[in-house]
Structure 1
Amino acid sequence: MSIYEPLESNDSRRHLKLRSPVTLEETGELVCANAEDVKQAIARARVAQPAWASTSMKERRTIVERALKIVLERQDEIIETVVKETGKCRTDAMSMEVFSVADQLCYYAKNAEKFLKPRKRKVHGLLKLMKQLRIMYKPLGVVGLITPWNGPFVLVMNQATQAVLAGNTVVAKGSEVTPYSAKLAEDIYRQAGLPEGVLQVLLGDGETGAAIVNGGVDKVSFTGSVATGRKVAEACASQLIPVTLELGGNDAMIVCADADIDRAADGAWVGSCMNTGHYCCGTERIYVVKDVYDEFLRLILDKGKALRQGQKHGWDEDVGAVFWDRQMTIIEAHVEDARAKGATIHMGGRRNPELPGLYYEPTVITDVDNSMDIMILETFGPILCIQKVDSEAEALRLANDSEFGLNGNVWTKDKDKGYRMASAIDTGSCSVNDMAVSYGIPAAPFGGKKNSGLGQVNGKKGLRGYCHEMPIVIDRFGGKMQNGYPYDAKSAEGMKKLMEFLWVKTPIGRWMS
């Protein structure tokens, strides 16, 4: 049974019936914004943008600080909405959708002015005697923001906050599976005093998102699948507009012989099952050096016995429901492919027979290799795939043998070695002795390599990514232009002699660089 089903309608908009992933019962009807709705939203954003760009950073910061206060005041409502639409456990909803949002809002409110302040840059060489260089950060205009179902509130709030602090207006769309969690972002910012048209969150499906991408915005920030990301990139390229893509992952975990095995086992469970495994930088491949493999597996299986599933546990639930039936199909197919190719399933490996909704049991699989879909594709589920390796060098080779490169983690008591190994993994970011925490650290730029994405979000770089970095060159003294018309052989000969003096006969040119 699908989480959403098309309904017949008497108007020009698509209507979808929504269901709970927890009970599969109907939860309501979604009316999708059509192309005309998108066009009007972008037009409103275009009208609102100049006035918003003219506001001071102090005014923008004040609104973000109000939004932070409102998020904390309405956190119970946020959690209830997210849990109702996704079925994730309540602790994941609090940590990802409330704490993380609050932390990001605080960080950007404090640092945006510093990051975007016009700055002077030194001019090198002889030109430093005659010119001044200043860099300013101008908003791009209207930003299109497309976010997925696995972090339905946080991913809208985080990116929208960066874009509006930079002086842009935003037209966003969350997933059709989690529309009202995304819509909360607009509601909260309006309550905080954000002017009309600065942030609009549309309800809709893939066609709504495509209309935004092709609707004449000035940048697109997209989070989602590789296949859709390629289409978004092609559409943006045809319009010559910038795009940031945060796509899938198949992240590797390396457990060295000198690791704290108990801590590593805890990290493997959380890294693989947090948010029901539905996060792009979740751990999907675990490579364990043979010296500690048996002990690691023993601890994994022992700790796995205590995991609780189902909303009857309330705040004590550890692993929630699968958010979408489409993802359940992928999880089941990957596990069955591994089983058929000789993998050993130690626990789980099936839907939870005691729960009515989309619950997949926390699963531990060994005897895996790269002939199996579960080791080369993104599974996005509560699965631990553990492979024994002879050495750390083999673990690094296997970690890099992937079309993805979003995140990873290395476990060792030798932090210097951990740093060296992390830097050797061909991935967008990496953690040492922790699961993937880079997205949760606002100062860290976040983005993938290979099929995991294009560009980076978050931090100074992410915030500046919503701006055009504009250099302005100012003449210091005025007077006659040094290289003005008319050209003549005498001035050309003089230029040759100057170049020889600067970079051949003397080191002056290098000193001035």
Structure 2
Amino acid sequence: MSLYEPIESNDSRRHLQLRSPVTLEPTGELVCANSEDVAAAIQKARAAQPAWAATSMKARAAIVEKALQILLERQDEVIDTVVSETGKARTDAMSMEVFSVADQLCYYAKNAEKFLAPRKRKAHGLIGIMKQLRIVYKPLGVVGLITPWNGPFVLVMNQAAQAILAGNAVVAKGSEVTPYSARLAEDIFRQAGLPDGVLQVLLGDGETGAAIVRGGVDKVSFTGSVATGKKVAVACAEQLIPVSLELGGNDAMIVCADADLDRAADGAWVGSCMNTGHYCCGTERIYVVKEVYDEFLQKVLEKGKGLRQGSEHGWNEDVGAVFWDRQMAIIEAHVEDARAKGANILMGGKRNPDLPGLYYEPTVITEVDNSMDIMLLETFGPILCIQKVDTEEEALRLANDSEFGLNGNVWTQDKDKGYRLAAAIDTGACSVNDMAVSYGIPAAPFGGKKNSGLGQVNGKKGLRGYTHEMPIVIDRFGGKMQNGYPYSADSAEGMKKLMNFLWVKTPLGRWMS
């Protein structure tokens, strides 16, 4: 039974029947925006954007600050909506969808003016004497924002806040699995005083998203699967518009012989099972050196015994439901492939038989290797795959033997060694003695390598990514234009002598650079 199924309608829009991942009961009907709706939204955004771009940064930041206060006032509503659509544990909803959003709204409201202020930059050499160089950050226009179902509120709020602070208008679409969590972003910003048309969150499916990407926007920010991300990249390339892609991951965890094993075991569980494992930076492969493998595994199994599933636990639930039936099918297929190829299932390995919805038991698997889909592909579920290795060097080699490169983590009490290993992992970011936390630190640029994405979001770089960094060169002194017409042999000979003086006869040119 699918969590959304097409149903007949009497209009030109696609209608979907939605179901709860917790009970599998119908929860409502989704009417998907069609291409005409998308075109109208982009036109409305285009009309609203110039006035918004002319608004002072202080006024923009004040609206984001107000959105922060409204979020805190409405946090129970946000949590209830997200949990009803995803089935995630309530604590995951609070930490990811409320605390993280509040922190990022505060950060960008405080720092956007500084990050985007026009600035002077000294030009080098002789040209620095003759010219002034200034950099201004101009909004791109209308940004298309496509977000997935695993962070249905946070991923809209975070990117939309950056784009609108930069002076853009945004046309966004969340997943058809979690449409109303995404729509809350527009509702909160409207309540905060954002002008009509500056942020529109459309309800829809993949066809709606494709219409946004092809609809004439000035940039696309996409978070989702590798396959869809490649299609988005092609569409943006054909239109010559910028794109940022945050795609899948298969993140590695390296446990060194000198690690704090209690903390590392806790980190393995949270890193693998937070948000039911539906976390693009979730830990999917755990490499443990042989000296501590048995002790680490024992601690993992012991700590996993008391994990609780089911909405009846309320705030005490540890691992929630699988958000989408299609993801459940992938999880089950990967585990069965590993089982068939000789892996040991030491805990879990199946749906929770005591619960009616899409619950997969927290699972521990050993004797895994790179012949198995679960070690090669993104499983996106509450699974710990633990592999014994001889050395840290072998762990590093296996960590890098992946088509993905989004995040990772290293566990050692030698922080210098942890830093060296983290820097050697071929991935977008890495943590030492913690699960992947880089997305939760607004100052950290976030993005993947290899099949994990293109470009970076967040931080100063991410905010500036919603602008065109425009250099303006101003002549200082006026007078006769250097090297103006008419050209002559004398002027060419003079330039040769100048180059010889700057870079051959004297160090002046290098000194001035």
Is the TM-score greater than 0.5? yes
Secondary structure in 1 aligned to 2:480? Answer: coil
Alignment of 1:340-379 (within 5 A): 340-379=340-379
Aligned to 1:306: 306
Report the CA distance between 1:128 and its aligned residue.
1.1
The reply to whether residue 387 of structure 1 matches residue 383 of structure 2 is no
TM-superposition CA deviations, 1:228-254 (whole Å, max 9, x none): 000000000000000000000000000
Report the CA distance between 1:489 and its aligned residue.
0.4
Secondary structure in 1 aligned to 2:274? Answer: helix
Alignment of 1:392-403 (within 5 A): 392-403=392-403
TM-superposition CA deviations, 1:168-190 (whole Å, max 9, x none): 00000000000000000000000
Distance 1:294 1:128 in 2: 63
Secondary structure in 2 aligned to 1:105? Answer: helix
Distance 1:307 1:128 in 2: 64
Secondary structure in 2 aligned to 1:322? Answer: coil
Report the CA distance between 1:417 and its aligned residue.
0.2
The reply to whether residue 36 of structure 1 matches residue 36 of structure 2 is yes
Report the CA distance between 1:431 and its aligned residue.
0.1
Distance 1:290 1:240 in 2: 51
Q: Which amino acid is 1:265 matched to?
A: A
Q: Which amino acid is 1:326 matched to?
A: R
Distance 2:434 2:123 in 1: 43
Secondary structure in 2 aligned to 1:258? Answer: coil
Distance 2:173 2:422 in 1: 35
Secondary structure in 2 aligned to 1:490? Answer: helix
Alignment of 1:68-217 (within 5 A): 68-217=68-217
Aligned to 2:484: 484
The reply to whether residue 445 of structure 1 matches residue 445 of structure 2 is yes
Secondary structure in 2 aligned to 1:410? Answer: strand
Report the CA distance between 1:18 and its aligned residue.
0.1
Aligned to 1:475: 475
Distance 2:280 2:266 in 1: 19
Distance 1:178 1:313 in 2: 22
Distance 1:309 1:67 in 2: 33
Aligned to 1:434: 434
Distance 1:335 1:438 in 2: 28
Distance 1:246 1:260 in 2: 32
Aligned to 2:278: 278
Q: Which amino acid is 2:160 matched to?
A: A
Paired residues, what number? 513
The reply to whether residue 63 of structure 1 matches residue 63 of structure 2 is yes
Distance 1:380 1:219 in 2: 28
Distance 1:498 1:87 in 2: 71
Distance 1:48 1:313 in 2: 46
Distance 1:340 1:61 in 2: 55
Aligned to 1:234: 234
Secondary structure in 1 aligned to 2:472? Answer: strand
The reply to whether residue 415 of structure 1 matches residue 406 of structure 2 is no
TM-superposition CA deviations, 1:1-39 (whole Å, max 9, x none): 100000011100000000000000000000000000000
Distance 1:402 1:117 in 2: 40
Distance 2:253 2:303 in 1: 18
Distance 2:264 2:134 in 1: 48
Distance 2:194 2:133 in 1: 34
Q: Which amino acid is 1:312 matched to?
A: E
TM-superposition CA deviations, 1:385-421 (whole Å, max 9, x none): 0000000000000000000000000000000000000
User: TM (normalized to structure 2)?
Assistant: 1.00
Distance 1:60 1:358 in 2: 41
Q: Which amino acid is 1:6 matched to?
A: P
Report the CA distance between 1:464 and its aligned residue.
0.1
Report the CA distance between 1:334 and its aligned residue.
0.0
Aligned to 2:9: 9
Aligned to 1:494: 494
The reply to whether residue 21 of structure 1 matches residue 21 of structure 2 is yes
User: Structure 2: 5+ residue runs without aligned partners?
Assistant: none
TM-superposition CA deviations, 1:57-92 (whole Å, max 9, x none): 010011000000000000000000000000000000
TM-superposition CA deviations, 1:405-447 (whole Å, max 9, x none): 0000000000000000000000000000000000000000000
The reply to whether residue 331 of structure 1 matches residue 331 of structure 2 is yes
Secondary structure in 2 aligned to 1:418? Answer: helix
Distance 1:25 1:458 in 2: 37
Secondary structure in 1 aligned to 2:297? Answer: helix
Distance 2:10 2:263 in 1: 57
The reply to whether residue 248 of structure 1 matches residue 248 of structure 2 is yes
Distance 1:482 1:359 in 2: 73
Distance 1:336 1:61 in 2: 50
User: Structure 1: 5+ residue runs without aligned partners?
Assistant: none
Secondary structure in 1 aligned to 2:360? Answer: coil
Distance 1:441 1:504 in 2: 48
Secondary structure in 1 aligned to 2:309? Answer: coil
Secondary structure in 2 aligned to 1:384? Answer: strand
Distance 2:490 2:298 in 1: 83
Distance 1:128 1:472 in 2: 13
TM-superposition CA deviations, 1:267-322 (whole Å, max 9, x none): 00000000000010000000000000000000000000010000010000000000
Q: Which amino acid is 2:170 matched to?
A: V
TM-superposition CA deviations, 1:126-156 (whole Å, max 9, x none): 1111100000000000000000000000000
Distance 2:381 2:479 in 1: 68
Secondary structure in 2 aligned to 1:23? Answer: coil
Distance 1:117 1:336 in 2: 54
The reply to whether residue 269 of structure 1 matches residue 269 of structure 2 is yes
Distance 2:256 2:170 in 1: 45
Distance 1:272 1:159 in 2: 25
Distance 1:394 1:127 in 2: 52
Secondary structure in 2 aligned to 1:386? Answer: strand
Report the CA distance between 1:482 and its aligned residue.
1.0
Secondary structure in 1 aligned to 2:365? Answer: strand
Q: Which amino acid is 1:499 matched to?
A: M
Secondary structure in 1 aligned to 2:386? Answer: strand
Aligned to 1:463: 463
Report the CA distance between 1:53 and its aligned residue.
0.1
Distance 1:124 1:107 in 2: 34
TM-superposition CA deviations, 1:355-414 (whole Å, max 9, x none): 000000000000000000000000000000000000000000000000000000000000
Q: Which amino acid is 1:274 matched to?
A: M
Q: Which amino acid is 1:279 matched to?
A: Y
Aligned to 2:292: 292
Q: Which amino acid is 1:377 matched to?
A: L
